[in-house]
C-alpha cells in the first residue's frame, strides 16, 4: 500500500518523480478551461473520499478538481457529520471506507487519526494536514520554487514565524530535496524537537534572510491553536513579520511564499504578498498539480 503520510516517509527519488510528473501534467493542460478532462484518465472508475475535520478552501477544491480532471469521482465529507465524529473508531471507519472508495484523503487534528486510518485502510491514505505536518502543501511549494528559480537543491530557504505544522513539512523536505532551511522565530515557538538537525536557527530575522532564495511564513495562529493564545502569539511574532525591509535583505530574486489563508498585515504585509517577489497564487494553483501527481503515485497510475 502506497500512502502519502509525510515527506520524510516517502523515498526522495519518489518525491522527485512526483514533482516532475506534476510539472508535466501542468504543462499539458496549460490554458485549457479548468473542467477539461486530462488527456489520460488514470482515475477513471475511481472513487475518492475527501474527509475534513477542519475547514479548508485550497485542499478541498484542489483535490476535488484534480480527481475530476483525471476522470475520477469524489465525495467531500465533513468528519463531524460522519459516525467518526460520534464515537465510531478510526479503525472501523477505515475498514468500511475501504469497501466503498479507492483512495482516502483526510485533514484532521491528531496525527494518530491519520496513522490509524492508514494502518486499517486497505486503500491508500493521503495526509491533507494534521496538527503536526502538511506534506501536500510543501510538494506544491517545491514545484512552485523550481518553476520560478530552478532546482531547489542547495538553495537557502528561510521560514519566519511560528514553528508549526507547515514548517515541519518544510524541515522534512529540506532533507529529502537537499536544501538549507533556516528558522527565524521566538524561542517559545521553536519547532518540535523531533525536527532538530533538519534546520538551523537564527533569532534575528534580518540576519536570517541574508542570502535567502525563498522566504516563507504562515499564519501566527493555526487551526489547532487555542484562540486564547492569539494575543500572546501576536506579541511574540510581531518582530518576525515578512515586510519589505525584510525581503530587501534577502537575495533580489528571492521568492515569497505563504500557504494561505493569510492574515494580511500580520504575518506578511500586503506590500509583500502582492509584490514582485510573491508567488502565492502560483503556489495555491500548484496544490492542484502536485496533488494530482501524489494521487497517481499512491494508486500506481
Ligand atoms: N493551504 C491550505 O491548505 O489551505 P486550506 O486550509 O484552504 O486547504
Ligand atoms: N498552519 C496552518 C496551515 C493552514 C493551511 C494551520 O494549521 O491552521
275-285 confidence digits (pLDDT tens): 999 999 999 99
Cis peptide preceding 175, ω within 30 of 0: no
Instruction: Give catalytic status of residue 259 as yes or no.
Output: yes
Q: Is the pLDDT of residue 80 over 90?
A: no
As a whole number of Å, the CA-based R_g of the chain is: 19
Q: Which of 6, 58, 218, 241 is catalytic?
A: 218
Each residue of 206-215: b (16+ CB within 10 Å) or e? eebbeebbbb
Burial label for 188, CB within 10 Å (0-12, 13-18, 19+), is exposed
User: What are 154-182's pLDDT values in tens digits?
Assistant: 999 999 999 999 999 999 999 999 999 99
Mean pLDDT of the chain: 97
Cα separations (Å) of 185 from 202, 204, 219, 250, 260? 8, 8, 13, 16, 19
User: What are 193-248's pLDDT values in tens digits?
Assistant: 999 999 999 999 999 999 999 999 999 999 999 999 999 999 999 999 999 999 99
**Could you tell me the distance, in angstroms and rounded to a whole number, from the CA of residue 39 to the centre of ligand 2?**
33
Sign of the Cα pseudo-torsion (198, 201, 207, 208, in order):
positive
Among protein residues, the one whose CA lies closest to atom 6 of ligand 2: 222
Give me the pLDDT at residue 50, please: 98
69 — pLDDT class (breaks 50, 70, 90): very high
Pairing of strands 47-52, 103-107: parallel
249 — pLDDT class (breaks 50, 70, 90): very high
CA atoms within 13 A on the CB side of 187: 0
Give pTM, 2 decimals: 0.98
Instruction: Give catalytic status of residue 107 as yes or no.
Output: yes
User: DSSP H helical segments within the chain, as ranges?
Assistant: 12-28, 58-69, 90-100, 111-120, 135-149, 165-177, 205-208, 230-237, 244-248, 270-273, 280-299
Residue 267 corresponds to which cell in the numbers above? 504575518
Give me the pLDDT at residue 119, please: 98
Q: Ligand 2 pocket: which of 109, 162, 223 to mutate (most atoms <8 Å of CB)?
A: 223
Contacts of 157 (CB under 8 A, 6+ apart): 170, 174, 179, 180, 181, 182, 212, 213, 214, 216
Give me the pLDDT at residue 82, please: 85
Q: Decide: 192 and 164 in contact? Cβ < 8 Å.
A: no
Amino acid at each position: 500500500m502506497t500512502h502519502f503520510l509525510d515527506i520524510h516517509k516517502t523515498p526522495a527519488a519518489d518525491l522527485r518523480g512526483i514533482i516532475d510528473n506534476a510539472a508535466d501534467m501542468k504543462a499539458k493542460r496549460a490554458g485549457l478551461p479548468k473542467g477539461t478532462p486530462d488527456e489520460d484518465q488514470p482515475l477513471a472508475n475511481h472513487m475518492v473520499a475527501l474527509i475534513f475535520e477542519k475547514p479548508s478552501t485550497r485542499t478541498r477544491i484542489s483535490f476535488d478538481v484534480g480527481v475530476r480532471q483525471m476522470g475520477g469521482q469524489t465525495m467531500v465529507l465533513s468528519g463531524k457529520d460522519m459516525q467518526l465524529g460520534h464515537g465510531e473508531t478510526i479503525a472501523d471507519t477505515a475498514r468500511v471506507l475501504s469497501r466503498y472508495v479507492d483512495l482516502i484523503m483526510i485533514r484532521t487534528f491528531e496525527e494518530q487519526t491519520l496513522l490509524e486510518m492508514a494502518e486499517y485502510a486497505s486503500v491508500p491514505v493521503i495526509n491533507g494536514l494534521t496538527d503536526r505536518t502538511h506534506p501536500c502543501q510543501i510538494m506544491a511549494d517545491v514545484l512552485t520554487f523550481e518553476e520560478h528559480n530552478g532546482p531547489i537543491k542547495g538553495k537557502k530557504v528561510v521560514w519566519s514565524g511560528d514553528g508549526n505544522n507547515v514548517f515541519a513539512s518544510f524541515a522534512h523536505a529540506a532533507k529529502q530535496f537537499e536544501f538549507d532551511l533556516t528558522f527565524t522565530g521566538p524561542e517559545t515557538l521553536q519547532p518540535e524537537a523531533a525536527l532538530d538537525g533538519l534546520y538551523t536557527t537564527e533569532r534575528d530575522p534580518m540576519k536570517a534572510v541574508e542570502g535567502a532564495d525563498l522566504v516563507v511564513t504562515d499564519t501566527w495562529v493555526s487551526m489547532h491553536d487555542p484562540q486564547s493564545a492569539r494575543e500572546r502569539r501576536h506579541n511574540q511574532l510581531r518582530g518576525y513579520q515578512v515586510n519589505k525591509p525584510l525581503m530587501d535583505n534577502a537575495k533580489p530574486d528571492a521568492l515569497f511564499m505563504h500557504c494561505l489563508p493569510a492574515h494580511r498585515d500580520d504575518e506578511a504585509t500586503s506590500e509583500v504578498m502582492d509584490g514582485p517577489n510573491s508567488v502565492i497564487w502560483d503556489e495555491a494553483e500548484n496544490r492542484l498539480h502536485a496533488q494530482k501527481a501524489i494521487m497517481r503515485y499512491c494508486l500506481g497510475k
